[in-house]
Amino acid sequence: MTQPNAKRPGHLGDGRAAKKDRSEGPIASENSRDSRIGQAAAWYAAHRLELPRPLVPNLARRFDLTSAEAAKALARAGRAA
């Protein structure tokens, strides 16, 4: 039985997507937050002695991150070292 407002098969017709139309998770772009955190971690690992203190605000400003994301980048760099 088809609903009168259904525009495509499987669509509920009331503005809600069918279960199979929902995405499984966020689509990561090249410029995604996680990518920038990884870039910041790699940059910090390579320039550890050059970055002026305090680390978190300077790293956040350089890579356009939040303070929490900059701290996460520092933690990643510490695990990689």
Q: What does the H/E/C string look like for 44-79?
A: HHHCCCCCCCCHHHHHHHHHCCCHHHHHHHHHHHHH
Kindly report whether the peptide bond that precedes residue 4 is cis, defined as omega within 30 degrees of 0.
Answer: no
Query: Is residue 12 over pLDDT 70?
Result: no
Most confident of 9-13, 49-53, 69-73: 69-73
CA distance 81 to 75: 10
Rounded average pLDDT over 41-57: 89
In this structure, the chain runs to a length of 81
**Burial class of residue 68, CB neighbours in 10 A (0-12, 13-18, 19+):** exposed
Rounded average pLDDT over 14-40: 66
Which has more pLDDT, 7 or 45? 45
Residues above pLDDT 90, as percent of the chain: 42
Rounded average pLDDT over 61-69: 93
